[in-house]
Amino acid sequence: MQLFKCGRCDQVLYFENTECVRCGAKLGFLPERVALSALEPDGAAWVAHERPGVRYRFCRNWEHSACNWMLPAEDPSPYCRACRHNRTIPHLGDDARLQAWRRIEVAKRRLFYTLLRLRLPTPTVDSGDPEPLSFDFLADPADGSRVMTGHDNGHITIALSEADDPTREAARVAMGELYRTLLGHFRHEIGHYYWDRLVRDAGEAELARFRALFGDDREDYGEALQRYYANGAPEGWQDTHVSRYATMHAWEDWAETWAHYLHIVDTLEMAAAFGIRIAPDIADDPAMEADISFDPHRVADIGRLIEAWLPLTYAVNSLNRAMGQPDLYPFAIAPPVAEKMAYIHALIRRAGRLPA
């Protein structure tokens, strides 16, 4: 994520801002420019400072204070690049569900920001793509059953209960997880979607490369799931996997590693936007230093990302501890995990046609 600037008064803006705190300008996000722009009214439409030659209107979900993304005024869709993937949203007459959905949409837009920056395909249901990307955001039914967050052939379900902080934290503790957030769910589940597109659909040679790193995806998933919940992660899992859950099955190893790759890219971009430099005075150790002055979406060598990421995590984890908070990034990146990330990095760069 990056910082933005108001085109009317130069005030620093953040991704979720909908109005400039200095000059009061309305703000809208232009996905084709990946930019947050000040707006001027133009009849029933808006003109953006970032692109004055185009008339815009807001996504229909703006009416529910659930989106600040724009689309060209003549676009036939009522929804923006992110919201047109929604298949089911909760009943908005229930205020608690409305608030939960708004929090879900914040995380979803952050996911789509990264997908846009990486130029990954996001086909809609009406695109003719055989496996379009779509979302259901569902509340638990009245019969006491639970909605399960997950992915199935391009369709991602997010349980509305995950937007409730106490409920989500209770689930994190009960399942022995180090990290559980709405954005983390989106990044994990979208990983399953891109496994289908970038690995499964790429043919046997790609599958062989995947299996050499992550394991055999043909292993029975139900049996692997039962084994994991019965026995947990094997001893020494930190030496080969990024999380406990990644040990469950090759698909979950991929999705967890994919999610962590997106964590790294997005956080490094924000660190670069703030001009963060890590250089502890106490030691002259290159492994503890990082000058984060690059765009991580355009870096060809995964090593450069990890070399910057590790010192940044040392710093932010220490800052969190100084405030009595748990580590922001309570994970380690062992060499086999870095190798898996390098594989994902290369696939993404090919899919997005980014320079090698």
Per-residue pLDDT reduced to its tens digit, 161-184: 999 999 999 999 999 999 999 999
Using 50, 70 and 90 to split pLDDT, how confident is the model at 356? low
Extents of the domains making up the chain: 4-81, 82-198, 204-356
Closest CA to 345 of 311, 306, 288, 287: 306
142: pLDDT strictly greater than 90: no
Residue 72 has pLDDT above 70, yes or no: yes
Whether the pLDDT of residue 159 is over 70: the answer is yes
Residue 74: predicted pLDDT: 95
Is the whole-model pTM more than 0.85?
Answer: yes
3-state secondary structure 282-335: CCCCHHHCEECCCCHHHCCCHHHHHHHHHHHHHHHHHHHHHCCCCCCCCCCCCH
Q: Is the pLDDT of residue 283 over 80?
A: no
Distance in angstroms (rounded) separating the CA atoms of residues 308 and 138: 38
Provide the percentage of residues in the chain whose pLDDT is more than 90.
94
d(CA 131, CA 145): 28
In the predicted model, what is the mean pLDDT of residues 28-37?
97
Per-residue model confidence as pLDDT tens digits over 192-239: 999 999 999 999 999 999 999 999 999 999 999 999 999 999 999 999
CA–CA gap between residue 46 and residue 24 (Å, rounded): 15
Terminal-to-terminal C-alpha distance of the chain: 22
Q: pLDDT value at position 178?
A: 94
In this prediction, residue 354 carries a pLDDT of 78
- pLDDT of residue 345 exceeding 70, the answer is yes
pLDDT class for 334, splitting at 50, 70, 90?
very high
Q: How far apart are CA 275 and CA 291, in angstroms?
A: 8
pLDDT of residue 352: 84
Q: What is the pLDDT of residue 278?
A: 95
pLDDT at 96: 94
User: Is 327:314 a contact under the CB 8 Å cutoff?
Assistant: no
Residue 27: is its pLDDT beyond 90? yes
pLDDT over 90 at 351, yes or no: yes
| pLDDT value of residue 59 | 98
Please report which helix (H) or strand (E) contains residue 99, including its range.
helix 95-118
